[in-house]
Chain A
Amino acid sequence: GAVVSQHPSWVICKSGTSVKIECRSLDFQATTMFWYRQFPKQSLMLMATSNEGSKATYEQGVEKDKFLINHASLTLSTLTVTSAHPEDSSFYICSARDPALTDTQYFGPGTRLTVL
């Protein structure tokens, strides 16, 4: 099946710094990728839809200047958490849709972000 990877798997940073998370589709080209955030014991909340070659579409309430998304190629999307604060600590998960399989989405393994 299709494989989506994320890097890093976990990261600890100081408050005020920026952190970049990468999401890669390893064996298919993904024109669309999605970024989710999951707080402990909660559901996955969609943050934004990442479109290759164009601007990301953010969900209501998600600050686009704080969560920068870049989808520069058909296999890579990045999420940068700028000026991170402790409340940004969460599990960030990306997913990618394989156009050949219509609406099936494949999830990355997630990135655990801890902001001190």
Chain B
Amino acid sequence: GENVEQHPSTLSVQEGDSAVIKCTYSDSASNYFPWYKQELGKRPQLIIDIRSNVGEKKDQRIAVTLNKTAKHFSLHITETQPEDSAVYFCAASTYSSASKIIFGSGTRLSIRP
């Protein structure tokens, strides 16, 4: 089955700087890669996703890149703000009737004022 690895487990950056979180996946059939932000005690919130037919997607301060050959995908947050502090999860999924999503281990992002 699919296995998603995520690094780093914790990340502290100065407010205004950029943050990068990296993930790898094992199943070459995976074709959907969402990123979630989770605050303590709350549900995961989808912040951006990318499908395997594109290599990069951007939404304001957030961008995601995908390298299908290397089975790598990354989240980039620019101009970080205090409200960006949370746990971020990458995930991978293979579109099918089941479409189950497998999560990475998570990255706790802290923004230093």
Contacts and interface: CB of A to CB of B under 8 A. Distances in A.
Interface of A: 32, 34, 42-46, 49, 57, 60, 91, 93, 95, 97, 102-105, 107-110, 112
A78 to B, nearest CB: 18
Given A97-B99, A103-B32, 15 more contacts: A34-B100, A34-B101, A42-B105, A42-B106, A43-B105, A45-B103, A46-B102, A46-B103, A57-B98, A102-B95, A103-B93, A103-B99, A105-B101, A110-B41, A112-B41
Interface in B45-78: 45-46, 49
5 contacts: A43-B105, A44-B44, A49-B100, A97-B99, A107-B44
A32 B46 CA distance: 19
B103 A44 contact: yes
B43 A32 contact: no
Interface of B: 1, 32, 34, 41-46, 49, 89, 93, 95, 97-106
Contacts of A57: 98
Contacts of A104: 46, 49
Nearest to A108: B43
A109 B101 contact: no
A46 B101 contact: yes
A44 B45 CA distance: 13
B53 to A, nearest CB: 13
Contacts of B106: 42-43
A44 B98 contact: no
Nearest to B4: A43
Contacts of B99: 32, 97, 103, 105
A58 to B, nearest CB: 12
A43 to B, nearest CB: 5
Contacts of A44: 44, 89, 103
Nearest to B106: A43
A89 to B, nearest CB: 14
